[in-house]
A = this chain, B = another copy of it.
């Protein structure tokens, strides 16, 4: 079976494996304070064009979301998110486990708007007794979103502005950040993101690393004691250098963006083939996740050879699935899929 069901089927980019191997028997101190982590921090600061941001390395996405959100919020505050946000549906209550309500806002395309955020804030400022409701304390968005859509620079600026108006830190989940930045529909750069968000992370797990997410904190007031929060949430890797080595490699010679671009290129080829075949999409995604709606017969036929993610039943006769590409997707597998789509 050729697997297109997610973007974490393979290990790491070969250059990363090579660096891990070369450094394997070196001795370093632990917990992210080794020279490799320091090097990776520097490279990420350079990529953000901002030597003032704090950079921390965590192992996975749920852990990162939980650590960042619980670090920011006061106990009685909640986090605003699109209803489809990963923290709202697919983290087994990890955010709530830290005592915070996830305040979800309906969003068919997975994106929040500045207006929705402002409305949500005002709805919680009930003149008579706001303290009976959770206080919105920050905003969480994903870039790209859970359903592959991306914000434009203009949209992100509006969101950032409304967040600052109401003193709500803006946190951008970048588990698939590379795929968002390389999307043909995105006009956002890493330095812009570092300016507009108060904190965001650069996903490694889904973009070339064995595992790892790099948290970038640009808002000074959020920097203090972040290592305590990492440790408390079990996110401080003993051999922290494993993260440093990986991110140092990803941010050397623009590797992160290059491999992300590959995934987008392959996704766009699949998308074109689907469109050419007249297949509709559940959501119009410009990133590495595509959500075609197959007839059940089509789905069955392709499932003989390919693994997709079942997404949702559309009607008796149709099913939406998710097809993912990644940094590791082989072009010959995509060729093969395209041919099979054409032959449907």
Contact = CB atoms under 8 A, between A and B. Distances in A.
A93 B232 contact: yes
Contact of A25 (B11, B76, B231): B11
A98 B101 contact: no
A8 B101 contact: no
Contacts of A211: 237-239, 242
A29 B5 CA distance: 9
A271 interface: no
A59 B228 CA distance: 18
Interface of A: 2-3, 5-6, 8-12, 14, 17, 20-21, 23-31, 59-64, 66-67, 70-71, 74-76, 78, 89-94, 96-102, 128-129, 131-135, 205-206, 210-211, 225, 227-239, 242, 310, 328
A10 B26 contact: yes
B89 A133 contact: yes
Nearest to A2: B27
15 contacts: A6-B30, A8-B238, A11-B26, A11-B239, A59-B234, A59-B237, A60-B237, A62-B234, A63-B235, A92-B133, A92-B231, A94-B234, A131-B227, A131-B228, A131-B236
A3 B31 contact: no
B8 A128 contact: no
Given A3-B27, A24-B10, A211-B239, A134 B92 contact: yes
Contact of A132 (B23, B67, B231): B231
Nearest to A310: B128
A81 to B, nearest CB: 13
A9 B21 contact: no
Contact of A231 (B11, B91, B228, B232): B91
A98 to B, nearest CB: 7
**Of listed A8, A20, A71, residue having the most chain B CB within 10 A:** A8
Contacts of A93: 76, 78, 99-101, 134, 232
A3 B28 CA distance: 8
